[in-house]
Amino acid sequence: MAATAKAVRAAGGEATVVAGDVSNADDVNMIITRTVDEFGKVDHVFNNAGIQGVGAPIVDMAEADFDELIAINLKGPWLMMRSALRVMIPSGRPGAIVNTSSFLSTAATVGTSAYSGSKAGLDAIIRACALEAGPHGIRINNVNPGVIDTPMLRGHGDAIIPSLAAQAALGRIGTPEDIADVAVWLCTDEARFITGQSILVDGGFTIPGPR
């Protein structure tokens, strides 16, 4: 987090670091309050915190592992949106909220029942939230990454990368920048008429049909 803040400042921006648990309402409220204290307002929110959790067939998965994954991946963004909107709506200013979902909200692999469920739930939640926030000029969308080159993916071993890349129409896995660019775009006026959408960014990985 400190490295990210340093990069923001080096680029001419302002940044502050606040540590908290997104699945804890008090921590979430503290994060939003601190943001208002530091910058005077909240215009845009990017909910990117999430975990892969324990991947296991449903018959082998522990209830505690399921609860942790849902708490962070689904309840966390819900809490952040609730706290942010309680500040954004009274301000009377337009704004945007973006959440990180996943291509696995509509797809699945063995062992992803809880993870896929958390992301599918997030895709559903934003539709209702977008209806509620829209009259106040606030847009809410998800960006749904495909296979992205992150430490989470690399944790499965580098050997899987070529085969995953071969399944994408563009012939490569994604980069964090591929997702960040879409998240930023969704907060700009260029996306002013987009809300309640889950935008798949996967390089054609999930296009149906033989490879």
The model's pLDDT over 3-18, given as tens digits with 9 standing for 90+, comes to 888 888 999 999 999 9
> Does residue 166 belong to any structural domain of this protein?
yes
Our count of domains for the chain comes to 1
User: Could you count the other beta carbons within 10 Å of the beta carbon of residue 29?
Assistant: 17
Cβ atoms 139, 130 nearer than 8 A: yes
> Does residue 18 belong to any structural domain of this protein?
no
| Catalytic annotation, pick one of 6, 41, 75, 119 | 119
> Does residue 160 belong to any structural domain of this protein?
yes
| Predicted pLDDT of residue 4 | 87
Tell me which residues of the chain have a pLDDT lower than 50: none
> Does residue 96 belong to any structural domain of this protein?
yes
Q: How far apart are CA 14 and CA 128, in angstroms?
A: 32
| Predicted pLDDT of residue 67 | 97
> Does residue 207 belong to any structural domain of this protein?
no
Nearest to 21 by CA among 59, 71, 70: 71
pLDDT tens, residue by residue, 84-104: 999 999 999 999 999 999 999
> Does residue 4 belong to any structural domain of this protein?
no
Q: How far apart are CA 89 and CA 95, in angstroms?
A: 9
Q: What is the CATH number of the domain that holds 101?
A: 3.40.50.720
Known active-site residue 6: no
Nearest to 100 by CA among 136, 54, 149, 51: 51
Known active-site residue 115: yes
| Catalytic annotation, pick one of 6, 41, 75, 115 | 115
> Does residue 23 belong to any structural domain of this protein?
no
| Predicted pLDDT of residue 171 | 97
Radius of gyration of the CA atoms of the chain, in A:
18
Q: How far apart are CA 141 and CA 10, in angstroms?
A: 29
> Does residue 22 belong to any structural domain of this protein?
no
Q: Which domain holds residue 187?
A: 42-201
